[in-house]
Amino acid sequence: MKIMSGNSNLPLARAIAGYLELPLTDASVRRFADEEVFVEIHENVRGEDVFVVQPTSFPANDNLMELLICIDALRRASAKRITAVVPYFGYARQDRKPGPRTPISAKLVANLITEAGADRVLSVDLHAGQIQGFFDIPTDNLFAAPVMAADIQARLGGQDLTVVSPDVGGVVRARALAKRLDNAPLAIVDKRRDRPGQSEVMNIIGDVRGRTCILIDDIIDSGGTLCNAAQALLDDGAKSVTAYITHGVLSGGAVARVTNSALKELVITDSILATDAARDSNRIRILTIAPLLGEAIRRIADESSVSSLFD
């Protein structure tokens, strides 16, 4: 088995390799003067089971291109099996046609990864579970919920917890976390979004008075959804609001928005390499999913069960 990495999240790839007690594959992923991606693998991978770690986060197109070219290099170097480890799958939010004459870019990206030569895909908290079906190759979708639940139990255990979904679409994810927290009650923020990039909180479904609220979502991008939801929960009498979000996209002024928000804390994972601003914010904490990914990779290589990781 070999672990190779693009440039998108080297610390995560190193941590995964550390968990598996393997060195990272010796390769360089660099740019020509005109920014073309060039990949060179400096060791033999013929007949190897290779896992390429490359979240397709900002800059999404560059990181996607690196992933595709790494896969192509491995295929031409006769790797036996190539798994694209894409902890954050960019373009996932474009998983359906929101209007006439619009693309389904998540499907296009799935096609590109498959055509490049990937034999399998491993991702975490895909924006929509059905994106697995966009691939005609085996695709494992891991959940960060066990990592989050352990952190919540350690830090907030014993408090009156209510798990909150910031929108109707996230209820299944919230219910799964609530189940891991001794069946904590659920609440839902009924959100209306007038324009892309803007969000407006309408009302809270469920009683949050005096409760320690845990907001859970897959992505924080501009931070609008989360910060508005936190304020609405406090306005409804919540004692405090802490957010657990798998993928800290945190575009533009999101870190400042979170830092100045009503949120007690934002907890994200290292699926995306955090910016300096995110790391320096005293309101943001990062949990690692390297052991989760490392264990899933070990099980894929051993051909043992991955789903039993979540029993």
Active-site residue list: 191
Q: Is 272 one of the binding residues for ligand R5P (CB under 6 A)? A: no
- In whole angstroms, give the CA distance from residue 213 to residue 227: 13
Contact present, 277 and 247 (Cβ < 8 Å): no
Q: Is 169 one of the binding residues for ligand R5P (CB under 6 A)? A: yes
Q: Is 225 one of the binding residues for ligand R5P (CB under 6 A)? A: yes
- In whole angstroms, give the CA distance from residue 173 to residue 176: 5
Q: Which of 87, 224, 248, 294 binds ligand R5P (CB under 6 A)?
A: 224
> DSSP secondary structure string, 195-219?
STT--EEEEEES--TT-EEEEEEEE
- 299 labelled ligand-binding: no
Number of Cβ atoms within 10 Å of the Cβ of 216: 26
The two beta strands, 49-53 and 2-5, are parallel
Q: Is 219 one of the binding residues for ligand R5P (CB under 6 A)? A: yes
- 35 labelled ligand-binding: yes
Q: Which is nearer to ligand R5P, 212 or 225 (CB)?
A: 225
- In whole angstroms, give the CA distance from residue 204 to residue 212: 15
CB of 195 to ligand R5P, least distance (A): 12
Q: Is 144 one of the binding residues for ligand R5P (CB under 6 A)? A: no
Q: Which is nearer to ligand R5P, 58 or 120 (CB)?
A: 58
Give the residues across from 243 on adjacent strands. 215, 266
Q: Which of 147, 220, 233, 293 binds ligand R5P (CB under 6 A)?
A: 220
CB of 179 to ligand R5P, least distance (A): 19
Residues that bind ligand R5P (rule: CB under 6 A) add up to a total of 15
Q: Is 166 one of the binding residues for ligand R5P (CB under 6 A)? A: yes
Q: What are the strands of the beta sheet with 186-192, ordered from one edge?
A: 200-205, 186-192, 161-165, 212-220, 240-248, 265-269, 284-287
Tokens of 187: 């609440």
Nearest of 101, 125, 100, 121 to residue 111 by alpha carbon: 121
Stretch that binds ligand R5P, among 27-35, 105-113, 114-122, 167-175 (CB under 6 A): 167-175
Stretch that binds ligand R5P, among 15-23, 103-111, 220-228, 287-295 (CB under 6 A): 220-228
Q: Which is nearer to ligand R5P, 63 or 246 (CB)?
A: 246
Give me the residue label for tokens 């998108």.
8
Q: Which of 5, 221, 241, 281 binds ligand R5P (CB under 6 A)?
A: 221
Binding-site residues from annotation for D-ribose 5-phosphate: 193, 217, 221-225
For binding to ligand R5P (CB under 6 A), which residues are involved?
166-167, 169-170, 199, 217-226
